[in-house]
Chain A
Amino acid sequence: MSALVSVEDLRVYFGDPAKPVRAVDGVSFSIHRGETVALVGESGCGKSVTSMALARLVPQPPGVYAGGRVLLNGRDVLTMKERELRALRGNEVSYIFQDPGASLNPVFRIGYQIAEAMRLHRRDVHFREETRELLRLVGMTDPDRAARAYPHELSGGMQQRAMIAMALACRPKLLVADEPTTALDVTIQAQILELLVSLQKQLGMAILLITHNLGLVAGVAHRVHVMYAGQMVEAGLTEDVLRRPKHPYTRGLLNAVPRLTGSRERLTGIEGVVPNPARLPTGCRFHPRCPYARDICVSREPEAESAAAQHEVRCHVWREVEGAP
């Protein structure tokens, strides 16, 4: 299986070049055809900026692509010409975001907005037919009515379905879903997730899921990457990472989520707060919050290393963490 997307040592900085804010700082990962990869982390960890870099969507300035490559089918997105990027965006790579209400244009009908990408990339299809087909695909019971509706006439769940239809208009190879269900009620959330999973099976596209919700990751992602302060701190198969976490941060995150079953004993979570990206700690960026931290963690930045088959971790003391109860 060759990688559809291969991100190598990606660096995206913001602000003053002399003292840049390193929002994404040496991130590497790959996404294979038809697979779902999750990027997990808290606000400011760089997960959204990473995802935007996949179609070179980070505005410059204030952003700067300071290093690395983003290979899509072997071609580097970061060095493409504008013309090539236009051919890629909304076509091979498309996005859905957290707040569908804010992503839809309030003054155009849903159908028109869905057909917009086709006008750019797929002159060969019959727009109205194809729009109807897409709306049916995303589970709209009355596709014609939905196509005629303005965004405000639809509920949040229906708006997100419309967004998904729009994103799928050109049958992308990669769908980037940035917190796609965070703004929705849980019952609607479950419907949208189910829809994404079934669409993936039908269309064979890869999904990059950006989320802070580990429960959601557990249900849909094949592989998961945990980000902290601009770096990947742990990566592996979903089950390995969530059942046998190696990094203290991943462990802390899992320990911070109240569960639906089992003990209601006090959760320990993680002390402190996410560091300001303009003032990152020395050594390991997690050390001020880490219960296992020792001298080396303060003085030297850890490298990513392989902890098991298909399981990477960036931590000096992961062996100790793994053995801890």
Chain B
Amino acid sequence: MSEQPDKHVLLRVENLKVYFGSARQPVRAVDGVSFDLHAGESLGLVGESGCGKTTTGRAVMRLVTPTEGRILFEGEDIAHRSTRALAAYRKQVQMIFQDPYGSLNARMTVGAAIEEVLTVHRLGKRNERAQRARELFESVGLDPAYMDRYPHEFSGGQRQRIGIARALAVNPRVVIADEPVSALDVSVQVQILNLIRDLQTRLHLSFLFVAHDLAVVRYVCDRILVMYQGRIVEQGEPDQLFTDPQHPYTQKLLAAVPDVEKGLNAITKA
């Protein structure tokens, strides 16, 4: 969480639409979403399942091709660029996934998995890559002694750290994190969230943080977008959004979240 994100717009999403299925009766997963991501900012995208938050994140990463709209990175529209032409963009924008079990190749040592990214993007000389991988491994709080091991030998939290190291390998400016802690235990969740906060400050990264957990998003984000049925229904800074939600959906969402303080107060009153 950086204190003062400068207002330089790194990524601008304009009227993004992603439709699935038949053209006659499309499923409007994302239906006209626009937002700016500033340099060094951590932007939260929250909502319930099916609201389009994950599809929005995947569209920005260009894992799905938008039906309509523009995605401007440093002013250049990448919304409909060919896969080949996206390589440079993907050096700038990286992604972390929810499931640290499914997102690592089970048959590749974790060291090799990190090095692979460097090879694909032709970063550094061959003999320098191993050293760079070690540094990355250390930067996410893991002991490089374990780089020769396979993913199954690591816990969920450690695997998520490896996923983060992999995303950071190309020195990206934007990281899209899709539910990065929802598969983790409570005590491990906060470790990963703290790592994300530290990396953001240290590397001046911008985050698009996609999650369903409002408290988690509040903890890591400078600004939050609330999505519902493919659209952004409300946005604001955490303190304003959480104390004075304007849209009925945000209000409903906030009221529904189980919270220790809220729960205890209810008991005391009952």
Contacts and interface: CB of A to CB of B under 8 A. Distances in A.
A270 interface: yes
Nearest to B181: A258
A186 B257 contact: yes
Interface in B252-270: 252-264, 266-268
B258 A216 contact: yes
Contacts of B158: 273
Interface stretch (B28-36, B114-122, B125-133, B210-218): B210-218
Interface string B209-247: 000111110110000000000000000001000110000
Nearest to B265: A218
Contacts of A190: 255-256, 258
A34 to B, nearest CB: 15
A268 B189 CA distance: 11
B257 A215 contact: yes
Interface in B161-215: 185-191, 193-194, 197, 212-215
A72 B185 CA distance: 32
Contacts of A252: 187
A270 B48 CA distance: 28
A274 B184 CA distance: 12
A239 interface: yes
Given A215-B263, A264-B1, A253 B186 contact: yes
Contacts of B197: 266
B75 to A, nearest CB: 33
Nearest to B47: A185
Contact of B260 (A212, A259, A267): A259
Tell which of B189, B197, B255, B267 has the most Cβ of chain A within 10 Å. B267
Contacts of A264: 1, 218-219, 238
A218 B262 CA distance: 8
B100 to A, nearest CB: 13
A290 B219 CA distance: 24
Interface residues of B, number: 42
B187 A253 contact: yes
A255 B262 CA distance: 16
Contact of A42 (B185, B213, B252, B254): B185
B267 A239 contact: yes
Contacts of B261: 218, 259-262
Contacts of A257: 186, 190, 215, 260
Contacts of A64: none
B212 A258 contact: no
B255 A269 contact: no
A218 B190 contact: no
A71 interface: no
A78 to B, nearest CB: 30
Contacts of B1: 264
Contacts of A48: none
A270 B242 CA distance: 26
B157 interface: yes
A262 B258 CA distance: 15
A219 B258 contact: yes
A242 B260 CA distance: 8
Contacts of B105: none
B49 interface: yes
Contacts of B238: 264
A290 to B, nearest CB: 12
Contacts of A260: 214-215, 218, 242, 254, 257, 259, 261-262
Nearest to B264: A218
8 contacts: A186-B212, A212-B185, A212-B186, A218-B258, A258-B218, A264-B219, A269-B190, A270-B190
Question: Which 10 pairs of residues, A with B, have the shortest CB-CB distance?
Answer: A218-B263, A219-B263, A215-B258, A269-B190, A258-B219, A190-B256, A185-B48, A258-B215, A270-B187, A42-B185
Given A42-B185, A258-B190, 16 more contacts: A185-B212, A186-B256, A187-B48, A190-B256, A213-B258, A216-B258, A218-B267, A238-B267, A243-B264, A258-B213, A259-B261, A260-B215, A260-B254, A261-B243, A269-B191, A271-B191
